[in-house]
């Protein structure tokens, strides 16, 4: 349970320490700091608390490892990155070591799986956990943090019934009998049994609404960015139908673009939604050029004038989806004979202006794309960058929680690179795929990326991602990529697992890397903290310790102060 002790400062109350005890009676000092290599500029006694949650909250039990996991465990089971969140919700002001820039004013939200068990049953994959939303609210150099479970129907039903009730990424509810199994299959085809567990991303729409997302369309949930309350489902008002969409839409102040895979007649609808509406309108359709089904589209890039539609040989598989136990590639199949393609669609007309075969690839996340022009201003090619896993779909299996928890020091993380697609506009049938810089610059690990949002769809120089300090079984560095200089800078701390580094530009900045990079760090010793790096120098400027460590999270967004 969590308890707080307070210091009186003038007419305000300030927390001296936050204590979190687990069932063994172990106490973690939430505001004590280990020695570090930077100067302490702020002290907890210098802070006045604006809003600290003081009532006691129910603690969520962290399920013990199963016998199978115990046998393979080598001491990493308790790394906080792979354990369930201790409480359903918490909020409080954090003491800051270093100095937060005064211009940083707003809320960073991070979504991700935070609860990886129900009762005594442990989920099996990183992508299965019930969504936990975390916030970091910055104002006048101060930081208030909080987290809360997203109250999806899947989460509420599991909490009430003490068992899995919806199909997650790799998990299927266990039927009570044959008739219930038949009924569950019927619900699968209708989409009723698919999860609405919005544990992947969070976006701020142009009209100000904040929506948490996953790959099922029903898993679009509106939240309050200040309180983290679940406000309700984001209901699409159109009749496009379908069960899934890209987990990562392209969202700006003026538009919302996403892809809707067609699992019946393999292809993709490219759709747009205007701010203030819930209606998606079709820009155009891309038919798949290979394979028995559409390729997985977790994300996709855009340029100023074009939408780039990737067609991977890692394709959706209805047969695997029907199975009660996960296959090695879960709801996908690897079809190298179907080849790989990149399609380019004009945003204005919906016409396909290029469709090229490219070398086989596997990617979850695209970084950015832009248009190459000749001296007369005519577009000659599209450049599209992604975190590419060397055409090796084994990365999906490596993200099983058992693998993440059983790290024994062996170097088992599959290699990855910044994959650069070159899509020509000269009518060629083939495009290129190459490394944008030497993968050894970032430890041959690469995922979870962000850029300066002002450079979305434009030629850019810098990106921020998670790389590798080997040996490792998961990306464990924060990396700044210089795609012009072909170099990388890497932040690393022993035993730390950083979440996606998120770049926030300084208002009025003229340099692309003028801003801060935010990440949340899970530590092997059970602790964790929020970290701020200077976007330009890539040096640490501040950190703030959480009262207890938070599990690993996925993607985030920035909500400026109104």
Name beta bridge partners: 400: 125
Give the C-alpha separation, 429 to 494, whole Å. 47
What does the CA dihedral 505, 516, 223, 497 come to, rounded to 10 degrees? 140
- Which of 63, 110, 103 lies closest to 82 in space, CA to CA? 63
Neighbours of 529 (CB within 10 A): 22
Rg (CA), the chain: 23
Give the C-alpha separation, 123 to 164, whole Å. 10
Binding residues for Fe cation: 248, 298, 365, 555
User: Nearest 5°: phi and psi at 547?
Assistant: -65, -20
Give the C-alpha separation, 305 to 370, whole Å. 9
Binding residues: 248, 298, 365, 555
Long-range contacts of 236-242 (CB under 8 A, 24+ apart): 236/278, 236/279, 236/280, 237/277, 237/278, 237/279, 238/278, 238/279, 238/280, 238/281, 240/269, 240/271, 240/280, 240/282, 242/217, 242/269
Give the C-alpha separation, 69 to 59, whole Å. 24
Provide the residue count of the chain. Answer: 562
Alpha carbon 195 to its chain centroid, in Å, reads: 17
Question: What distances in angstroms separate CA 419 from CA 391, 414, 483, one per listed residue?
Answer: 10, 15, 12
Element (H, E) at 528: strand 528-534
Q: Residue 160: how many CA atoms within 13 Å on its side-chain side?
A: 9
The pair of three-digit structure tokens given for residue 322, joined into one six-digit string = 């029907």
- Specify burial of residue 113 (Cβ count, 10 A radius: 0-12, 13-18, 19+): buried
In DSSP notation, 411-469 reads --PPP-EEEEEEEESSS-SB-EEEESS-GGGGTT--EEEE--GGGTTS---EEEEEE--
């Amino acid at each position: 349970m969590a308890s707080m002790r307070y210091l009186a400062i003038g007419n305000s109350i300030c927390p001296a320490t936050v204590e979190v005890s687990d069932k063994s009676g172990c106490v973690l000092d939430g505001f004590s700091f280990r020695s570090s290599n930077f100067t302490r500029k702020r002290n907890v006694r210098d802070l006045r608390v604006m809003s600290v949650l003081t009532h006691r909250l129910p603690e969520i039990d962290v399920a013990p490892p199963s016998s199978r996991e115990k046998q393979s465990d080598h001491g990493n089971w308790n790394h906080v990155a792979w354990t369930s969140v201790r409480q359903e919700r918490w909020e409080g002001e954090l003491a800051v070591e270093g100095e937060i820039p005064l211009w940083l004013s707003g809320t960073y939200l991070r979504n991700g799986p935070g609860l990886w068990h129900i009762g005594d049953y442990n989920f099996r994959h990183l992508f299965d956990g019930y969504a936990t939303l975390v916030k970091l609210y910055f104002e006048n150099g101060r930081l208030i943090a909080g987290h809360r479970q997203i109250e999806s129907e899947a989460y509420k039903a599991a909490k009430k019934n003490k068992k899995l009730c919806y199909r997650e990424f790799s998990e299927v509810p266990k039927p009570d009998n044959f008739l219930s199994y038949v009924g569950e299959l019927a619900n699968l085809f209708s989409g009723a049994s698919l999860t609405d567990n919005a544990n992947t991303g969070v976006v701020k729409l142009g009209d100000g609404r904040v929506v948490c997302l996953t790959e099922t369309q029903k898993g679009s949930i509106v939240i309050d960015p200040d309180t983290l309350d679940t406000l309700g489902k984001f209901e699409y008002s159109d009749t496009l139908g379908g069960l899934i969409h890209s987990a990562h839409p392209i969202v700006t102040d003026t538009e919302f673009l996403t892809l809707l895979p067609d699992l019946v007649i393999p292809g993709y609808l490219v759709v747009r939604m205007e701010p203030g509406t819930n209606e998606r309108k079709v820009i155009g359709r891309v038919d798949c050029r290979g394979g028995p089904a559409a390729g997985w589209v977790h994300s996709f890039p855009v340029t100023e004038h074009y939408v780039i539609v990737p067609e991977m040989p890692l394709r959706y598989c209805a047969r695997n989806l029907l199975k009660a136990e996960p296959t090695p590639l879960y709801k996908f199949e690897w079809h190298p004979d179907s080849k790989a393609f990149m399609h380019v669609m004009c945003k204005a007309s919906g016409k396909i202006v290029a469709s090229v075969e490219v070398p086989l690839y596997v990617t979850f996340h695209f970084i950015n794309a832009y248009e190459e022009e000749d001296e007369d201003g005519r577009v000659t090619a599209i450049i599209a960058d992604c975190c590419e896993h060397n055409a090796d779909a084994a990365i999906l299996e490596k993200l099983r929680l058992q693998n993440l928890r059983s790290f024994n020091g062996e170097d088992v993380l599959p290699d990855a690179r910044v994959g650069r697609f070159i899509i020509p506009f000269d009518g060629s049938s083939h495009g290129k795929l190459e490394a944008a810089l030497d993968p050894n610059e970032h430890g041959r690990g690469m995922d979870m990326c962000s850029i300066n949002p002002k450079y979305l769809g434009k030629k850019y120089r810098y990106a921020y991602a998670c790389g590798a300090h080997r040996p490792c079984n998961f990306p464990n560095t924060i990396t700044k990529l210089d795609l012009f200089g072909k170099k990388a800078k890497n932040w690393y701390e022993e035993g730390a697992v950083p979440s996606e580094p998120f770049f926030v530009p300084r208002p009025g900045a003229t340099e692309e890397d003028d801003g801060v990079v935010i990440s949340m760090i899970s530590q092997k010793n059970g602790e964790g903290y929020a970290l701020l790096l200077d976007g330009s120098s890539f040096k640490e400027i501040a950190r703030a310790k959480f009262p207890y460590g938070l599990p690993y999270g996925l993607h985030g967004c920035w909500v400026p102060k109104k």
